[in-house]
Amino acid sequence: MHFKDLGLDQRLLKKLNHLAFNKPTEIQQTAIPVGILGKDVLASSKTGSGKTLAFLLPAMQRMYRSKPFTRRDPRVLVLTPTRELAKQVFAQLRTLNAGTPYDGALIVGGENFNDQVKALRNDPMFVIATPGRLADHLEHRSTHLDGLEMLILDEADRMLDLGFEAQLRRIHEAASHRRRQTLMFSATLDHADVIDIASDMLNAPKRISVGHSAEEHTDITQRFILCDHLDHKQALLDKVLETEDYNQVIIFTATRADTDRLTKELNERKMKAVALSGNLNQTQRNSIMSQFERDCHKILVTTDVASRGLDIDKVSHVINFDMPKHAEEYVHRIGRTGRAGNKGD
CA-closest candidate to residue 248, choices 282, 298, 196: 298
Q: How far apart are CA 42 and CA 33, in angstroms?
A: 14
Nearer to ligand ADP, 47 or 142 (CB): 47
The verdict on 48 binding Mg ion (CB under 5 A) reads: no
Query: Directed axis angle between helix 165-174 and helix 192-201, to 10°?
Result: 10
Binding mask 21-40 for ligand ADP (x = CB under 6 A): x-xxx--x------------
Shortest distance, position 92 Cβ to Mg ion, whole Å:
9
Instruction: Kindly give the interhelix angle for 113-121 and 131-139, rounded to the nearest 10 degrees.
Output: 70
Residue 90 in the binding site for ligand ADP (CB under 6 A)? no
Closest approach of ligand ADP to the CB of residue 214, in Å: 13
Long-range CB contact pairs, 161-165, < 8 A, 24+: 161/81, 161/326, 162/81, 164/81, 164/131, 164/132, 165/193, 165/197
CB of 24 to ligand ADP, least distance (A): 5
Q: Report yes or no: 71 and 145 within 8 Å, Cβ to Cβ.
A: no
**Binders of ligand ADP in range 289-318 (CB under 6 A):** 309, 311
Write phi, then psi, for 107 (nearest 5 degrees).
-125, 90
- Distance, in Å, from the CA atom of 166 to the CA atom of 81, rounded to the nearest integer, reads 14
Candidates 309, 335, 338, 344: give the one binding Mg ion (CB under 5 A). Answer: 309
The residue from 34, 40, 50, 116 that contacts ligand ADP (CB under 6 A) is 50
* Least distance between ligand ADP and beta carbon 181 (Å): 19
Residue 49 lies near ligand ADP (rule: CB under 6 A): yes
**Interaction of residue 213 with ligand ADP, rule CB under 6 A:** no
Q: Which residues bind ligand ADP (CB under 6 A)?
A: 21, 23-25, 28, 47-53, 309, 311, 339-340
Q: Which residues bind Mg ion (CB under 5 A)?
A: 51, 309
